[in-house]
Amino acid sequence: MVKFENVTKTFGSTTALKGVSFAIKSGEFVFIIGPSGAGKSTLIKLILREISPTDGLIKVKENNLQEITKKNLPEYRKKIGMVFQDFKLLFDRTVFENVALALRVSGEKEEEISRKVENILELVSLKDRMDFFPSQLSGGELQRICLARAVVGEPEIIIADEPTGNLDLGTARQIVNLLKKINETGKTVIMATHNFEIVNLLNQRVIELNKGKIVSDKEKGKYHLA
Ligand SMILES: Nc1ncnc2c1ncn2[C@@H]1O[C@H](COP(=O)(O)OP(=O)(O)OP(=O)(O)O)[C@@H](O)[C@H]1O
Ligand SMILES: [Mg+2]
């Protein structure tokens, strides 16, 4: 589903990723862990094709990302649902509208939009908050809306960059469990975090980055700092 072959990314004199190779299968749940500056967000931006590698090959489904034209980029990005640490919600729109927005741009019928948004808000247990504004909700609730927004368009891959960074451990656990639930519906989930406690909430594959290199790639099992 996602394949990196010897990928290097430099920014001026900084090497953010160096010779990174891995393959993630369809339907997998993978944590990307590493300290600040390890290259986690760079890896994610490369998958989204927000940036291009300095060297190496990246494939997502059978697409070589360097061959995707500017015109086809929006179509490509629709395959990916993104969740951010800082939510990136529109604070002047309701919960319903924030989630519906992704569907409106693709021109779906209003009834269809309502049905899908309500279903997904049910999944994240926030249907009763549908008409609230983001400022009226807690951090954990805001992140659940972001999850709903990421999955409503039925992307094949969900990528979360430090989605629990602003949350306490109990609330973080809810978010991670929801990501797992989404993964169990067949979606590929990639989650980046610097927090080992969070990784140990689930028994999943962990790719560890440090200073731009993969230092371990463990199938499953409790994770400990090397
Ligand atoms: N646009 C950029 N220009 C210059 N340097 C960059 C840029 N983006 C990232 N870097 C550098 O690349 C390295 C990796 O950054 P990255 O954001 O991928 O780390 P991270 O693992 O996501 O860290 P954090 O846990 O703090 O989010 C850092 O040294 C960073 O300063
Ligand atoms: Mg980051």
pLDDT tens track for 171-199: 999 999 999 999 999 999 999 999 989 99
Distance CA 193, CA 153 (A): 24
- b vs e for 208-224, b when ≥16 Cβ sit within 10 Å of the residue's Cβ? bbeebebeeeeeeeebe
Distance CA 161, CA 148 (A): 15
Per the CB < 8 A criterion, the answer to whether 158 and 188 are in contact is yes
- pLDDT (tens digit per residue) in 161-170: 999 998 999 9
Q: How confident is the model at residue 102 (pLDDT cuts 50, 70, 90)?
A: confident
Determine whether the shortest distance from the Cβ of 37 to ligand 1 is under 6 A.
yes
Determine whether the shortest distance from the Cβ of 44 to ligand 1 is under 6 A.
no
Short-list 56, 25, 31, 28, CA closest to 44: 31
DSSP 10-66: EETTEEEEEEEEEEE-TT-EEEEE--TTSSHHHHHHHHTTSS--SEEEEEETTEEGG
Per the CB < 8 A criterion, the answer to whether 85 and 165 are in contact is yes
Measured between its terminal Cα atoms, the distance across the chain in Å is: 28
Angle between helices 95-104 and 110-123 (to 10 degrees): 130
Main-chain phi, psi angles of 182, to 5 degrees: -65, -40
Mean pLDDT within 137-156? 95
Task: Using the predicted structure, report yes or no on whether residue 103 has a pLDDT greater than 70.
Answer: yes
Task: Using the predicted structure, report yes or no on whether residue 106 has a pLDDT greater than 80.
Answer: no
Q: Which residues contact 122 (CB under 8 A, 6 or more apart)?
A: none
Per the CB < 8 A criterion, the answer to whether 145 and 137 are in contact is yes
Determine whether the shortest distance from the Cβ of 135 to ligand 1 is under 6 A.
no
Distance CA 23, CA 31 (A): 13
State which ligand 1 atom lies nearest to the alpha carbon of 51.
1
DSSP state of 207: E
* Residue 152 Cα to ligand 2 middle (Å): 24
Determine whether the shortest distance from the Cβ of 86 to ligand 1 is under 6 A.
no
Distance CA 46, CA 209 (A): 15
pLDDT at 89: 95
Distance CA 226, CA 209 (A): 12
Which residue among 36, 84, 164, 215 is best mutated to probe the pocket of ligand 1, counting the most ligand atoms within 8 A of its Cβ?
36
pLDDT at 62: 84
pLDDT at 225: 54
Per the CB < 8 A criterion, the answer to whether 207 and 32 are in contact is yes
Mean pLDDT within 146-154? 95
Mean pLDDT within 108-130? 95
